[in-house]
Structures are given as C-alpha cells and as structure tokens.
Amino acid sequence: MTRLRIATRGSPLALAQSGGIARRIEETLGVETELVEVRTSGDRIENVSLAKLGGKGLFVKEIEEALLEGRADLAVHSAKDLPAAIAPGLVLAAFPERADPRDALVGRGARRGLADLPRGARVGTGSVRRRSQLLAMRPDLEVVPLRGNVDTRLRKLEEEGLDAVILACAGLDRLGLGDRIHERVDPNLLLPSVGQGTLAIEAREGDPLAGDLAAVDHPGTRAELAAERAFLSRLAGDCNVPLAALAERPSRDRVVLRGLVASPDGRRVVRATAEAPLADAARAGIRAANQLLGAGAAAILEAIRAEAIP
C-alpha cells in the first residue's frame, strides 16, 4: 500500500488533529497519507443538543461506514466522541500520547477564572456534563446551550453576550489558540469527559495495518482510556448522561480513576475513586462505576433515562 486514506470529520479541529496523526504515521511507517473528509450526522445538525439527537455516535457512524466500505483505511477520532461500543468489524488500533485533558474557561474581558465570574454570569457549553458540574459548584450561574465548532463557540462569546464559554484545553491547544484560555480548570472542580484530550485511531479488525499502528500507540494513554471506557460502558453512558471520568498514573504500574455521575441540575453528584494495576486498568473503571451505582448513581441514571423516553 503506497498511500493510506484517513477518514476524518471536516471541522478545523478535526483536520488539525488528523493532519498531525497523518504526519506522525508518515514519519513512523514511511507511507504517504491523504485525508478523506466525512460529514457526519452530528456535523449536519448544529442547533439541537446532542442528547436529543441521539448521542456520541452521531460524530462516528458515517466515518465507521467509510472504513467498513473500504473508502478509507483508518480513521482518527476525538476519543471523547466515541460511544461505549464501536461498530463490529472495527478495532481501536492506537491511542497517541494524551494532551491536556482539562476543561478550559475562555472569558470575555479581563476575567480570569470561574471564581471571578460575577453572580448570574452567563456561561456557554453544549455539554450536560459541564452544565451539571457548573451548577453544582455555582448554582447562581446561567448555563447557556452552545453548539458548533471551536471558532463558532468563541464567536458566540461576543455575539450572544456570554461571560465565558467552556471548551477543551486540548482542542484549543491543537488549533494554536491556547493563549485564549483564561483558566485550565482543575479536575477537582470540573472532572473531564471520558477520553478528553485523547485521539483514537480506528482500523478494520484483522487488517495488518491495525498491527502496524502499534508504532504510534502510547501504552500509558491506552491504559487510561481502558479504565475510562470501562467506566463508560459499565454505566451505559452517552451524551444525555452527566458522567465524567479521568484516569491518571500515579506510578509506573498503577492507574487511579476518578468518576462521577450527576443529575442534570447539579443538585445530586455522586463521586468515586478506584485504582488497579496498569496491566488491568479497565478494572479501575469498573470498580468506580460499581461504587457509584451502589451510592445513588443508579437512581440518577434511571431518572435521566425515564425523562429521555418520548
């Protein structure tokens, strides 16, 4: 194979991310690459919340179809866009080293962080996870629904008179917009989304290319994602569920995962922490999820899913 076709969303951020992976693959595997832009359902519908549209798979389905149909050889995703289960016949072949997983506050004017926002400040986010944690911490805030690519969200900061917007640090950094960040929010205040800051390279199961991609895999990042995605899977999480998790490696052979489930209004938040050996990192995610289910998260999840039934 002389040229690898890489399926990607067409947003500026997705192209920046997939372009970086393409260059890394060219350097590592010595093959040429080309980007194949795929417009997903999530890209086509911008003014409706993801929870109402059907969740994370909206940014993945058409890209996976391109892989399965042979229109692309591999795909690059933001790991936080991946649903708990990927399409049969595909495999997550590599996770390059993780970027900053934290949330970023971008404010208007001279304000520098969450603590500096005035009472009643208007904060934009399209994430139920961010909304619930913001309201748990600052119930006085007005959280404004926000969708669109990074540039659109930054523009709406001014156009809609918002005091701040919450985005991912990694996305802003990859676009060269890290200087717009007023606060890289401590995960103790805003626990990130599963997979935030991580890219996932997907390939066809059984394709020799899937094995070759091990050359760009980062074992520590893979272990963190194994814990976080096990947590997501155990809770059957999606975009309409305010859950968060972050796995970290305090030592070379251990993984510690912090996770939470919250009610959409932020009035109920259940937290858990669990750890496991690096070689069995998924166990940390499962343990944390089981702790949450036994501590009240099951009732929160049941209520959220009952409300989602038409």
Catalytic residues: 81
- Residue 65: Cβ-neighbour burial (10 angstroms; 0-12, 13-18, 19+): middle
Q: How far separated are the first and last CA of the chain, in Å rounded?
A: 48
Distance (Å, whole) CA 220 – CA 194: 15
Strands 142-145 and 122-125 come out as parallel
Query: CA-CA distance, 22 to 27, in Å (whole number)?
Result: 9
Q: Are 213 and 199 spatial neighbours (Cβ–Cβ below 8 Å)? A: no
Q: How many CA atoms lie within 13 A of 245 on its CB side?
A: 38
Q: Can you give the C-alpha Rg of the chain in angstroms?
A: 19
Count of residues making up the chain: 310
Q: Using CA atoms, how far apart are residues 15 and 7, in angstroms rounded to an integer?
A: 10
Measuring CA to CA, which residue among 172, 229, 166 is closest to residue 197? 172
Helices 282-292 and 219-234: crossing angle, nearest 10°? 30
Q: Angle CA(225)–CA(228)–CA(232) in degrees, nearest 5?
A: 130
Bridge partner list, 239: none
> What is the Cα–Cα distance from 155 to 172, expressed in whole angstroms?
14
Residue 167, helix vs strand vs coil:
strand
| SS3 (DSSP) at 103 | strand
